[in-house]
Amino acid sequence: MTNPRPHFRISWTFVSLLAAIPCSLLTAAPSARGQAMALAAVPDTPLELVTGGARALITPEERDDAMALLDRARLNISLHAAGVPPFQMKVSFTATGGSQFEGDGTMEETYAGPLLRWTERLASSSQMHIVAGGQAFATNPKEPIPLRVQMVRGAIFQPIGPAPGTGMIRAQTVQRDGQQLTCLLLSGSVPTTPMARQWVETEFCIDPDTALLHSWSMAPGIYVNYDYTDAIQFHGRTVAREITVVEANKPVLQIHIDSLKDADNLDPRIFEPTREMTSAGPAFALGYPRRFPMRAGLLENSPEQMIQPVIVHATLSNVDGRVIEAEALQDTNPQLAQDAVEIVEHSRFPATGLQQEVFINVQEHVAQ
């Protein structure tokens, strides 16, 4: 790799169109000569538990066992689920890094099935949100939720999303802190040869005996670690008291669940939006984290090239799909990371009505 800062010839329309291509189709791009272009390996990091030898689960029995383990972990961590009794939760957290809102923050939530009330405070952002009667309201429904706040809610309430369907499942048994974990790698498709983690894989590392989720990595470069020391027991669920989020080998969130308790005899009026909320119109909800690729243009005057992915973590507007905040999850080449963030920031994406948290696999090109 001889060129640390590639010079791109980018068509922003071309980039936006490629955002809809499945990750599995972009594991290797065709070169100008019609041959598959080499793909750089995922960088080494001490936080990556799958360092080699993860094998594909092919038989129906293996796949069923893996999905059963993931379902058990999901059941334990799902607090927004049918049958969960009403609760009140208080959370404190510290956000660092380069996002727009950093510092000490708090979040409180009261949950009662279809009724939900939660508040957040971080730096200059402070809002109350209410979900009632199938509608969402907020004190300022046009104000975006800070990226770090959306990450806090994702780490606590929805690290394990819907079932992955019929895609590729790979697994490896690992040791961390003297404990044996089963790491499941999920993707659309990767080669079946035993190998280390790939760019397109999402990773869950679970204790096979207790079904407790110990590590969640939506994409290479971000790791959410759950500490069950002094865990909270809540109606058959074991909830981690401490959650740490690391990006590019640096902690960006330290989350502490201060309390989680039953909410008995709730006054239903706390779920009624204020007159100001209703007059401001409906608010948006937060979408489950998702990922997709984008491909940058080829280098000029460089026949021998390879693909160097950079994962860009971003939030997208519920109204028009514009990028609200964006940061790179790989920083071994700062200029390459900056280029990837700029590609994303100059793009528009389809609006869904939700504020989306996305992990965009920017497929940059570098000289070999």
Domains in the chain (CATH in brackets) are 12-36+288-367 (no CATH), 45-283 (2.50.20)
Report the C-alpha gap between 127 and 173 in whole angstroms.
Answer: 42
Name which residue leads in pLDDT, 178 or 273: 273
Residue 108: what are its φ and ψ, rounded to 5°? -130, 145
Residue 193 · residue 283 · CB < 8 Å: no
Burial letters for 21-35: b for 16+ Cβ neighbours within 10 Å, e otherwise?
A: eebeebbebebeeee
Cα Rg of the chain, angstroms:
21
For the cut 80, the answer to whether the pLDDT of residue 301 exceeds it is no
Residue 292 to residue 202: CA distance in whole angstroms: 12
d(CA 82, CA 85): 9
Residue linked to tokens 């971000």: 222
Mean pLDDT along residues 252-259? 98
| pLDDT, tens digit, 9 for 90 and up, residues 224-238 | 999 999 999 999 999
pLDDT above 60 for 35? no
Segment 155-180 shows an average pLDDT of 88
Of the chain, the end-to-end C-alpha distance in Å amounts to 4
Mean pLDDT of the chain: 89
pLDDT class of 162 with cuts at 50, 70, 90: confident
Average pLDDT over residues 96-113: 95
Residue 11 — very low, low, confident or very high, per pLDDT cuts 50/70/90?
A: very low
Main-chain phi, psi angles of 360, to 5 degrees? -100, 120
pLDDT digits (tens, 9 = 90+) for 138-147: 999 999 999 9
Average confidence (pLDDT) over 238-250: 97
Which runs of consecutive H residues, i.e. helices, occur in the chain?
12-18, 60-77, 147-157, 275-280, 334-345
Q: What is the DSSP string of 13-73?
A: HHHHHHTTS-GGGGSS-B-TTSSBPEEPPPPP-TT-S--S-BEE--SHHHHHHHHHHHHHH
pTM: 0.89
